[in-house]
Amino acid sequence: MQKIKKDDEVIVITGKDKGKIGRVTKVLGNKVLVEGINQSKKSQKPNPNAGISGGFISKEMPIDISNIGIYNPQIKKVDKVGFKFLEDGKKIRYFKSTNENIDG
């Protein structure tokens, strides 16, 4: 089980977007795509058959998982993630500072 999953709210710890909060859209091994974070300009050729106009588009690039941390809305800071087992044997994630479950 991974500490950061899709649809988690994360905050950027280091880099040009330090302090920004976003939602994870995709996990790619040890990198993640976060909406609105690590934007890059990419030039695109026009394709009239597909209805695509040319120009510069803004695209989200992957960011290393070590440069983000999971955001705890209660303390409004980065928090560490722990794992524990419930009585029925299910493994869940929880915030270490508040001991509250991340997964429902």
The ranges assigned to domains in the chain are: 9-43+55-95
pLDDT (tens digit per residue) in 52-65: 888 999 999 999 99
- Whole-angstrom distance, CA of residue 68 vs CA of residue 4: 9
Contacts of 4 (CB under 8 A, 6+ apart): 10, 24, 27, 32, 65, 68, 70, 81
Name the fold adopted by 9-43+55-95. Answer: SH3 type barrels. (2.30.30)
pLDDT (tens digit per residue) in 79-98: 999 999 989 999 999 999 99
Residue with tokens 């809305």: 73
- Whole-angstrom distance, CA of residue 72 vs CA of residue 18: 16
Is the overall model pTM greater than 0.75, yes or no? yes
Say whether pLDDT at 103 is over 80.
no
Q: How confident is the model at residue 4 (pLDDT cuts 50, 70, 90)?
A: very high
